[in-house]
Amino acid sequence: MNISKNMGGADRLARLILGALLVVLALTGTIGAWGWIGLILLATAFLNFCPLYRLIGVKTCKDC
């Protein structure tokens, strides 16, 4: 499987912030187990690749 960049800077930053927030809220018990979905957001932000974007043919980066 070829993992090529398909995520732009703003998208990546939003995923980092939202992912971290969800994980912190899950750790503190504020939102329960659903907060662990933030790990998926963090992983896709660090990889600069979103499998869902690939399936639907979306790219949010300008130079990819």
Q: Cα–Cα distance between 33 and 55 in angstroms, integer?
A: 27
- The answer as to whether 38 is a domain residue is yes
Give pLDDT tens digits for 12-63: 999 999 999 999 999 999 999 999 999 999 999 999 999 999 999 999 998 8
CA distances from 25 to 13, 31, 35 (A): 18, 6, 6
pTM, rounded to two decimals? 0.88
- The answer as to whether 64 is a domain residue is no
Q: What is the DSSP string of 22-63?
A: HHHHHHTTSSGGGGGGHHHHHHHHHHT--HHHHHHT----S-
CA distances from 29 to 19, 35, 36 (A): 15, 9, 11
| Number of structural domains in the chain | 1
Domain boundaries, position 28 = 19-56
